[in-house]
Chains A and B, each alone.
Chain A
Amino acid sequence: MGPLKQFKTNLAFHFSKSLNKPLIKPYWIYISLTHKCNFNCRMCGVKNILKEYELDFDTLRKVFQEISGWDSDCVVVFTGGEPFLREDIFDIIDTSASLGLVTEIVSNGSQINNMHIAKRIIRSGIENIAVSLDGATSQVHDHIRGVEGAYKKATDALRYLSEAKKINRNLGPQISAWVTIMKENSEELHDIIYLSKELGVECLVYHPVIVTQDDMQNTIKCGDFWLEDTQIDMLKDKIDKIAEYQKQNGLVAFLHDPYLWIKYFQGALSKQDWQCNPFVFIDIGPDGSVRSCGPAFGNVKEMSLADCLNTIEAQKARARMLKCNKPCLQTCWARPESDYLMNIVNNFISQLGNLKDGPSHKKELIEKGIGFLSQYEDLIAKKLQQR
């Protein structure tokens, strides 16, 4: 993405947030394909809301078509439940990918149990496949996932995927593993790196546990999976090791500063450290309900996604999110680079400095940038006049 486009996107997210008005389409679109799941993960709230329905293929196609018409960048992530429990999962992936959407999928790995499926996934045109890996040993992973043999299934899935990708001349989706940081696996955080290296994982993502989306604003620092105060030093030590490894070998992808985890588990994370931007993320449930955080504000079965974002309920939900002062550290809700206008401008300038183009081109870019700012200035000035 060029610096100008990035500048424009950042500005749009920044002013969407300060005006509580969607000036840009969300970046993350999570689609929960089903609430069925064959695992019984301890930290997951989906099992409590088990509902029978699934979004039918035609509605999904309609949603994909709408998203593909948006001019801003976005990523479609299929989640669940376990998305591979749907019979038409490959039809869905293919449709999404063939419409040119950046598609990712999150799985527990249980259904990727042979080479045939692994190959099918690798060739389906998705950008990223993530398998949850919560422990470096079967005891810990199985304990967290609530099912015997979960560890074997997840590691096998990753092995199949990396092998299939090798056969496909290393073309195909990035194979990643997601680790939920919690009390139960805090001692193994560093060991997971070696395990995933061995399994052929290309990207390892850590993210701290939340209890459930609905509960988020109330359960910080009182959930079951929270690190105890005595474990904080150990966590710090693990972060040091992981950061050191990341510096030398890559593999680990930090979505945010890992040292924020310490504050997070201490319950001391504040708005200065982490802010939520309600415009970055939406989640579509298996019943078609659209939400960002908290209650649903629309339904894709009844209206278009863009209309959902403009409902009164959506405004209320976003206003509540802005007031939330229990940062959850989930990357999907945040966009730290567009929190402050000065940061956006400084980023822009530093990126221009890195460009190898001639000064006249740079001059043109800056002038265009000033043009964007003037547009927002007009918009706000008009609003001030109206009052």
Chain B
Amino acid sequence: MKNRIREVIISLTNHCNLKCAMCQIPLNNVRELSTVELRELITDIADSCPDSIVFSGGEPLLRKDIFELISFANQLKINTCLASNGTLINDEVAGLLASSGLGVINISIEGPEQIHDSLRGEGNFKKAIAALEHLVHHKIETTIATVVCGKNYKFLTYVIELAHQLGVTTVKFQPFSEIFLIDKDGKNQFFASGADLRDIETEIKRVIEISRSYNIAVNPDTYLRSVAPYLCGCWQRKPHSACPGLFSSCSISAEGDVHICWVLYDTVLGNVRNKRLSEIWDSEGHNRLRETAIKEKCKGCLMSCYDYNFEKPKLKELFILKKNKLKKPRFYKRQYFRIYQYAHYIFKKIINRSINLRTPSENDTDTERMLCEIQMAKEILKKHLRD
């Protein structure tokens, strides 16, 4: 069976207004995909019934056409997700995002003001908080995203408390990964030592407890429990578990290169400027690369893109999660989008298979009307002939 694309992550730009410690995306002058090319890409993606498109970056809000792209995807009934640092969101931008039909927005918060500003630059904590307030005010479904590293693991409960105060219903944790670092030697400062293992574990335990009492959705328990050993360097991927992300998602860089995943960044499948994404996705080369990636290249990561796979939530947790999600403003709309997309996809498949070619033509009444018109035209000419 062919794999369906479920999530496409599009990096809209490499430019960013911040200089975060854990990210060194190089600012070489790439020719970014133009609005027209992105529209074509989104149209192409829409054909394969995805769950969502994630616009990321750099800072995607630096692109002028971001609202246009979101509303275009929205018109095609695709869920959109935006990953932003929040520094550019004022009341007006939040309003524009809401009116363009954005599904979910992720705002990065790394911990209390001091920690956040030390990682992301002075004054940015206040800006991010203001952004969260505006977004909640405009009823956009907002998620706080936190990169867990050796410097902020003590403040994870703080983030949950903050979310509760602001009225944000989801917090996503993701342990630090060195993929966006060029200087790979600098990565050690973000990991923790074996001595911290117990501290991290207790913090994570408290996070799970508190989030449940506040009804805030977080990553699955097993995933969170893996964070501590991962940061201390003693986590091992289960050898038999093939990453589901490889079969359901792909990422596209600012210049249009399609990557098998962010972690295996050097594996490029093709460029959307030369070839349609649907062709690249179904190509034999892609399948071959997936197999080699699973067998040889992939060392295992804890990217939150596939955290759902870590655990089938227990009934109680499922209930809490559902209750939370039901409360979210755009929940029903998004469910509708999903059902619509899937139905559209299945319908198209059936049509394509059963009728290879059917002219999208008029029905019989139209044909009869045309015949009538011809008759009338002939009458007029005949009348003229007699005169």
Contacts and interface: CB of A to CB of B under 8 A. Distances in A.
B is a partner of A: yes
Given A45-B36, A363-B385, A370 B378 contact: yes
Interface in A354-387: 363, 366-367, 369-370, 373-374, 376-377, 380-381, 383-384, 387
B344 interface: no
Q: How large is the interface on A (under 10, 10 to 19, 20 to 34, 35 or more residues)?
A: 35 or more
Interface string A137-172: 000000000000000000000000000000000000
B241 interface: no
Interface string B1-43: 0000000000000000000000000000000001111011000
B36 A49 contact: yes
Given A49-B36, A345-B381, A366-B384, A19 B374 contact: no
Interface residues of B, number: 30
A18 B377 contact: no
Contacts of B375: 377
A349 B39 contact: no
A20 B39 CA distance: 27
A48 interface: yes
B362 interface: yes
Contact of B377 (A19, A315, A341, A384): A341
A316 B360 contact: yes
B224 to A, nearest CB: 43
Nearest to A322: B360
A131 to B, nearest CB: 26
A370 B382 contact: yes
Interface in B344-359: 357, 359
A302 interface: no
A380 B376 contact: no
Given A215-B36, A374-B378, A366 B359 contact: no
A373 B378 CA distance: 7
B318 interface: no
B374 to A, nearest CB: 5
Contacts of B37: 48-49
A214 B380 contact: no
A319 interface: yes
Given A21-B359, A316-B360, A387-B364, A380 B370 contact: yes
A384 B374 CA distance: 15
Contacts of B377: 341-342, 344-345, 373
A367 B359 contact: no
A330 interface: no
A384 B372 CA distance: 13
B373 A341 contact: yes
B382 A48 contact: no
Nearest to B366: A18
Given A21-B359, A218-B39, A381 B381 contact: no
Contacts of A114: none
Contacts of B362: 18-19
A312 B382 CA distance: 39
A18 B370 contact: yes
Contacts of B368: 384
Contacts of A315: 357, 359-360
A252 to B, nearest CB: 32
B72 A218 contact: yes
B376 to A, nearest CB: 7
Contact of A212 (B36, B361, B373): B36
Contact of B381 (A45, A218, A370, A387): A370
Contacts of B357: 312, 315
A329 B368 CA distance: 30
B36 A341 contact: no
For A319, A380, A381, the residue with the greatest tally of chain B CB atoms inside 10 Å of its CB is A380
B326 interface: no
B238 to A, nearest CB: 44
B72 A366 contact: no
B371 interface: yes
A144 B357 CA distance: 45
A348 B359 CA distance: 31
A384 B364 contact: yes
B367 interface: yes
A49 B31 CA distance: 11
Interface in B83-100: none
Nearest to B71: A218
A20 B361 contact: yes
Interface string A282-319: 00000000000000000000000000000010011001
Given A19-B361, A345-B380, A366 B40 contact: no
Interface string A199-220: 0000000000000101100100
A341 B72 contact: no
A349 B383 CA distance: 11
A236 to B, nearest CB: 30
A18 B366 CA distance: 9
A316 to B, nearest CB: 7
Contact of B39 (A19, A214, A369, A370): A214
Interface of B: 34-37, 39-40, 68, 72, 357, 359-362, 364, 366-368, 370-371, 373-378, 380-382, 384-385
Given A345-B381, A377-B371, 11 more contacts: A19-B361, A20-B360, A222-B68, A341-B377, A344-B377, A366-B384, A367-B385, A374-B378, A377-B378, A380-B374, A387-B364
6 contacts: A48-B37, A49-B36, A341-B373, A342-B380, A370-B378, A377-B374
Interface of A: 18-21, 45, 48-49, 212, 214-215, 218, 222, 312, 315-316, 319, 341-342, 344-345, 348-349, 352, 363, 366-367, 369-370, 373-374, 376-377, 380-381, 383-384, 387
Q: 10 tightest A-B contacts by CB?
A: A48-B34, A319-B360, A345-B377, A341-B373, A377-B374, A366-B385, A214-B36, A384-B367, A373-B378, A370-B381
